Amino acid sequence: MTTSTERAGLAAEVAPGRSFWSQRLRDYVTLTKPRIISLLLVTTLAPMVLAAGGWPSTGLVVLAMIGGYLMAGGANAINMFLDRDIDSLMARTRLRPIPSGRMSPAHGLGFGIALAVASFLLFALAVNLLAAALALAGLLYYVFVYTRWLKRSSPQNIVIGGAAGAFPPLVGWAAATGGISLTALYLFLIVFFWTPPHFWALALVKQKDYGKVGVPMAPNVWGEQHTLRQMILYTGILLPLTLVPVTLGELGVVYGVAALLLGLWFLYAVVKVARASDFTRPAWSLYRTSLLYLALLFAAVLVDGLVPELSDPVETPVLLVNPDLVTEP
């Protein structure tokens, strides 16, 4: 008996008007998860601009973007290889190239490894070794710490494993400077604390799917109300954290105003989900809001780097007095 998933795969292979190579190209792109990578590239580019104090050389930006896409795409392809068993059981993922049968698991794994190797060599030979090492570390963390270890064993999978998605700011900073600064670490932490409320919004909506395949997402293990309280907690930490670089003079007023307004908007969206009697629609809205929030926040970082004169920290005016004009009583 042919399953619906197998039928979908066969239909895709013989769809009229679509050649084998056209479908294969689509599947290669799908393996890389381009929509997710687009946000990762924003969190790579903005730190590059900030670290360089302006737009870096266009050649360096292009190399870093290509290298970042290849490494993230490789990580996503390997992730799809490792998760092919549960992907085939979830409505959201069962039509992906490997579980649908359009691509063999070995082919998907080989594609992912090839992308990772190409990315590492590109970074190491054309950018610098530190950027290459950090990009590879992000892939290894995502594949082994998150996918292989935590995803199926702990409700903390998103908290601890989510650090993998916070590597791009470090990669971008290293690509521009050859080093890592305190500001880069703050940007890493911002993405780290953003990840739980972002992904748990999706987990609230898809908790039945995750429960069916035995993935211990927070709503399935802790319950919905505890998960919602944790989302408020992490967002409450995130908001002041985004302002710390401003108080230390590492980012300017333009970024600071944007971070405050965006943070209040994000916190409002999280609280709205927590207070809803039926959180399905507001949780979906929060998931989309969180993506826009991070993109706009790092866009503000980029502006801070491109237009430093508009982003200088506010200084308290100092009254200068000529001592010769001061008379004693």
In the predicted model, what is the mean pLDDT of the chain?
89
Paired tokens of 299: 């866009």
CA atoms within 13 A on the CB side of 218: 23
* 21: confidence class by pLDDT, cuts 50, 70, 90: confident
Q: What is the pLDDT of residue 315?
A: 45
Task: Output the pLDDT for position 307.
Answer: 85
Query: Any idea which of 64-68, 208-212, 231-235 has the lowest mean pLDDT?
Result: 208-212
The structure's pTM equals 0.87
Quick one: what percent of the chain has pLDDT higher than 70?
88
Average pLDDT of 166-195?
Answer: 97
Q: Residue for token digits 């108080």?
A: 247
3-state SS assignment for residue 304: helix
How many beta carbons lie within 10 A of that of residue 149, not counting itself?
14
Phi-psi sector, 281: left (phi>0), alpha (psi -120 to 50), beta: alpha
Residues 6+ apart with CB under 8 A from 177: 51, 52
Q: Which domains does the chain have, with CATH numbers?
A: 19-309 (1.10.600)
The pLDDT of residue 92:
87
Q: Of 57-66, 277-286, 302-311, give the lowest mean pLDDT range.
A: 302-311
pLDDT value of residue 9:
42
Averaged pLDDT for residues 37-63: 96
Predicted confidence at residue 312, as pLDDT, reads 52
